[in-house]
């Protein structure tokens, strides 16, 4: 069911297993594992969101000062900026030291060749696949589980200190039902779906818990409504156009004044507000309609990257199932296995994915 991809480490390779049972590491394993240290080092990095948090805290600090009427002096601004730089330096230094330490541990493991074994199963957390055993967590080269099936017990052969998996052999027959239910559970965890809601979704129903989560989808439409509408209202108030009694007289005054820029800007802001209103209505229909649609089909992943005028890029991740596209977070994207048959459950209006089931 889960085939090994070319140029990707194969845990069930018979040559690997035979050598690892004897306590040996093949030259091919040593080469591939040596290339995997960069992924392993990212596993141990902490504070990935520190950059953004530090900047946000600085902005909130300056905003509060503005509200309280406190003047932002140059020394104060430089002090806050310096604090942010110190936090970033601490973060980068920690990541660098942990990366070097993990690289050294893995290199020493490969040189010593001490192999341990233990029984465990595939697990997904922190955006990548790992292995859970009674003795703790094991790590997979490159964070992928090709050749391994969720919901199945394996005997894993791994390096002693870095706990990097070398190979794996299944304990007993791999039943299709166990594999499908195991991957369904992993996808639910990665996407914050609820397996307890799956039975209701099969009946076409949206559970109260799922409806509650949809309320977060109201934020974006409200921003699209309030921000453009508020900006347009403030500008019209400042230039005195709101003194007109009717909308027709307001438009006549703007047109007579030859203010083409205001017409274009007002049209754009109004269109954004209208689009936000449409999204708001559709979201409310999903929330209070309490129903789900479903479709079945072969699934695969898709990445969409856009570049803004300033050169910054935005990456969006999608599942494509039965020809329909559903946006997901990066963690859910990493857990997905291409080429399998899925049943997707989603809201009828906004097409928000609320659950996912592996069929075969």
Residues 315 and 311: their CA atoms lie apart, in Å, by: 13
Helices (H), the chain: 14-21, 27-35, 37-43, 50-68, 74-112, 176-191, 198-202, 208-214, 219-239, 247-256, 260-289, 330-335
Percent of the chain with pLDDT over 90: 18
Selecting from 3.30.2010, 2.40.50, 3.10.450, 2.60.40, what CATH number does the domain 180-206+291-358 have? Answer: 2.40.50
Mean pLDDT of 13-36: 86
Percentage above 70 pLDDT, the chain = 74
CA separation, residue 269 to residues 69, 123, 220, 241, 273 (Å): 30, 47, 15, 16, 6
Cβ within 8 Å of residue 228, ≥6 positions away: 268, 269, 270, 272, 273, 276
Q: 257 is written with which tokens?
A: 């004044």
Say how many C-beta atoms besides its own lie within 10 A of residue 358's C-beta.
23
Q: Tokens 């530090």 appear where?
A: 54
68-72, 263-267, 336-340: the lowest-pLDDT one: 68-72
- Mean pLDDT score, 108-132: 85
CA atoms in the 13 A half-sphere facing the CB of 301? 14
Confidence at 47, pLDDT banded by 50, 70, 90: very low
* HSE-up of residue 339 (Cα within 13 Å, Cβ side): 6
> Is-contact 280 217, C-beta < 8 A?
no
Structure tokens at 338: 């291409």
Residue indicated by tokens 């156009």: 241
Q: Is 299 or 38 the better-scoring residue by pLDDT?
A: 299
pLDDT at 292 over 80: yes
Q: Is the pLDDT of residue 6 over 50?
A: no
Tens-digit pLDDT profile for residues 186-214: 888 888 888 889 999 999 999 988 888 88
pLDDT value of residue 240: 63
Chain region(s) in the chain for CATH 2.40.50? 180-206+291-358
> What's the pLDDT score for residue 5?
36
d(CA 86, CA 182): 44
Q: Which two tokens stand for residue 207?
A: 């559970």
The winner for highest mean pLDDT among 3-12, 109-118, 300-309 is 109-118
More confident: 287 or 43: 287
């Amino acid at each position: 069911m889960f085939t090994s991809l070319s140029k990707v480490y194969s845990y069930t390779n018979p040559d690997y297993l035979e050598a690892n049972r004897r306590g040996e590491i093949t030259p091919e394993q040593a080469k591939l594992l040596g290339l995997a240290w960069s992924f392993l080092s990212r596993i141990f990095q902490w504070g990935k969101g520190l950059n953004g948090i530090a900047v946000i805290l600085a902005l909130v600090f300056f905003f509060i000062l503005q509200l309280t009427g406190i003047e932002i002096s140059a020394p104060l601004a430089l002090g806050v900026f310096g604090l942010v730089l110190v936090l970033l330096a601490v973060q980068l230094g920690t990541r660098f030291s942990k990366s070097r330490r993990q690289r050294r541990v893995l290199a020493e493991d490969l040189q010593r060749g001490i192999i341990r074994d233990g029984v465990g199963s595939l697990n997904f957390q922190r955006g990548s696949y790992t292995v859970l055993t009674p003795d703790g967590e094991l790590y997979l080269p490159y964070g992928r589980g090709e050749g391994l099936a969720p919901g199945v017990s394996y005997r894993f052969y791994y390096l002693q200190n870095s706990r990097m998996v070398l190979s794996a052999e299944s304990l007993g027959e791999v039943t299709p039902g166990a594999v499908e239910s195991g991957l369904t559970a992993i996808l639910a965890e990665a996407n914050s779906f609820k397996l307890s809601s799956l039975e209701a979704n099969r009946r076409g129903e949206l559970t109260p818990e799922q409806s509650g989560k949809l309320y977060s989808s109201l934020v974006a439409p409200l921003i699209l409504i309030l921000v453009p509408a508020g900006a347009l209202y403030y500008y019209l108030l400042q230039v005195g156009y709101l003194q007109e009694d009717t909308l027709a007289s307001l438009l006549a005054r703007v047109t007579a004044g030859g203010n083409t820029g205001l017409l274009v800007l007002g049209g754009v802001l109004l269109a954004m507000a209208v689009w936000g209103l449409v999204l708001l209505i559709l979201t409310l229909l999903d929330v209070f309609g309490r129903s789900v649609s479903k479709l079945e089909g072969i699934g695969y992943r898709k990445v969409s990257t856009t570049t803004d005028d300033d050169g910054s890029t935005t990456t969006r991740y999608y599942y494509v199932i039965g020809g329909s596209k559903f946006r997901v977070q990066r963690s859910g994207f990493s857990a997905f296995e291409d080429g399998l048959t899925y049943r997707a459950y989603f809201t009828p209006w906004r097409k928000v994915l609320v659950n996912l089931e592996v069929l075969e």
